[in-house]
Amino acid sequence: STTLSITYAPTTVADHSAQVNIENGEAAASIALSGRATPPDASSPDDVQFGFVPTDETATETVTISNLGNESTTLSITDVSLTGADANNFSLTSGTQAPFDLSGGESQAINIEFPVNAGPNPGSRSATLTINTTDPDAEQQQITVNVEGSIAVPDIQLNRSAVEFGD
C-alpha cells in the first residue's frame, strides 16, 4: 500500500476540479477531485456613539474588523480614514493605521479618540470611518461606520445658602 498526499492551494476564488490517474502496469484508477476556494469576508462593525464627553477629557471607542472567511483566506485592509465636516474632532490612535492583512478568523481593533481639536465649543460632532478592503462581497470594497459624539461643557452650580455677609 502507498499513501498519496494531494495539496489544494487555490489562487483564485472559484470552484475547482481535477482528476488524478494512477497506473501500475496491471491496473489503473482515477480519482476525481473538487474544491471550492472561498473569498475573505469582512465583518460589518456597528456605528460608534461616544455620547457626551467633557471638553477637558478624551474618550476612546473601538471598532473591530474581522476576516470571517476560511483560515486560508487573506483580507487586506488597504486604507482606514475619517471623513466628514467634523472629522478633525476625531482621531485614529497609533497602531490602527492601514495597510494590514487579516488571515481567516483574525480581527484587528481600530481605536478612535474624541474629542480632538474641538476647542471649548459644545455640541454634536459626526464623521464617517471608512475601511477599504479586498473583500469581493463588500459594496465597492468599502465598509463605512458612522461616528458620533457630543462635547459637553462642565455644569456650574451655586450654593446660595453657604454665603454669609456678617453684620
In this predicted structure, the answer to whether residue 167 has a pLDDT above a threshold of 70 is no
Q: Could you read off the pLDDT of 83-123 as tens digits, one per residue?
A: 998 999 999 987 778 899 999 899 999 999 998 776 667 88
50 has a pLDDT exceeding 90: yes
pTM above 0.75, yes or no: no
Higher pLDDT, 32 or 161: 32
Q: Which own/partner pairs from 152-155 qualify as long-range (CB within 8 Å, at least 24 positions apart)?
A: 152/52, 152/53, 152/54, 152/55, 152/122, 153/54, 153/55, 153/120, 153/122, 154/54, 154/55, 154/56
Specify the higher pLDDT residue, 42 or 150.
150
